[in-house]
A and B are shown apart, each in its own frame.
Chain A
């Protein structure tokens, strides 16, 4: 009994203070992968059932909408390509290194932390796919979070809404740099230390600033939805609504920036082409 207690306490201490146990954790996660997969079955079945139940007409309509959206996006992409090359040329002229040329890998959510106080999810891509700790995760709307631990087949992601998560952001209208902290609610981020005189308004878009070397520059993080000046407090109370659908997105994107791609295994570099 005492032996097991001491062993557990030592494990907790080592796991908390160092990264020595990361490999062991990755190995054990590999062993319990069947349990993780089994726990995802109900959600998967429900979705398949929904697909079967949808009538042909609804599907047809859905396809039409998608087709229109695809056309629209295609024209936009064509324009984007021109703009990107122009932007790159201008940046080259300026001697600036930052380029918004990231590659993404599509992943699927397979689990959610059962504790409502923790905003962590499990995705179905792991070290096999070149995922690394600290990798940013996006959905179609914006920044979702970052990878905190990996195993062979899957990895755990801390969402930006978790109370222990902070994202460096800037207001896209004024380039004001701020830090957005999670609040534990998936519909609210809090901006820290906003001066009462700062130029920030409801409706301002916050994008990742790239400071801190963790998240790439320029991905939408949230939209300011409340600015309150309380004379009794040293800073203004500003909150934002996350752009990403933190509790609804099932398909997510893992971002590889250029330098990381160079380090990633061959598999990813080959996949980049398609």
Chain B
């Protein structure tokens, strides 16, 4: 159970980044560019420590995100467990990939996450889809290499196993 706090802290920081308000000075549309920080961190830990961070953790994290965003309880939870499931079934292959190849997979996974999110919202009748929601997956994929390197550094530094 070494370094549990590192995992917790990275998730908390990602959640803060996910809800921190934009300045009033910038147009609200910039919000579409906000990367899915929590999903990025989740994918990293699932690939790095699949025996510790799996579907259960993803579900709990998703539920917390639901509370933070005021969305339906379970909405992000179900999206996150599907993300964790895909990442954990691909982790051996993903570890072999170069960073940019990983980015492509991350793009697909986060795009799927966005679609599930919208799908649930439209079933219950709040959905207002526009294609800009997919921008988040592009930005997230572009950020993946730096997130990966940072989290790997933290994992090695604090010897999280």
Partner-B contacts on A (CB < 8 A): 1, 4-5, 7-12, 15-16, 21, 24-25, 28-29, 31-32, 35-36, 38-40, 42-43, 46, 111-117, 120, 122, 148-149, 156, 163-164, 184, 186, 247-248
CA distance A107 to B92 in the complex (A): 51
CA distance A11 to B76 in the complex (A): 11
Chain B residue nearest in CB terms to A34: B12
Interface residue B34 (Cβ < 8 Å from any Cβ of A): yes
Residue pair B19, A25 in contact (C-beta under 8 Å): no
In the complex, the number of residue pairs spanning A and B with C-beta atoms less than 8 Å apart equals 104
Contacts of A42 in B (CB 8 A): 20
Q: Mark B19-31, 1 if CB is under 8 A from A, else 0.
A: 1111110001111
A29 contacts B67, CB within 8 Å? yes
Interface-lining segment among B43-51, B102-110, B120-128, B143-151:
B120-128
A112 lies within 8 A of B21 (CB)? yes
- In the complex, the answer to whether A8 meets B77 with C-beta atoms within 8 Å is yes
| Cα A7 to Cα B73 with chains together (Å) | 10
Residues of chain B having any CB pair with chain A under 8 Å: 12, 15-16, 18-24, 28-32, 34, 55-56, 59, 62-64, 67-70, 72-75, 77-78, 81, 85, 120, 124, 126, 128, 130
Q: Tell me which residues across on chain A come within 8 A of B23, comparing CB atoms.
A: 43, 46
Neighbour of A12 across the interface among B21, B29, B30, B120, CB < 8 A:
B120
In chain A, what residue has the closest Cβ to B64?
A: A32
B19, B22, B32, B77 — most chain A CB neighbours (10 Å):
B19
Q: Can you give 18 A-B contacts (C-beta < 8 A)?
A: A8-B77, A8-B78, A8-B81, A12-B75, A15-B72, A16-B72, A16-B124, A32-B64, A35-B12, A35-B15, A35-B19, A40-B20, A46-B23, A111-B21, A115-B69, A116-B28, A186-B28, A247-B28
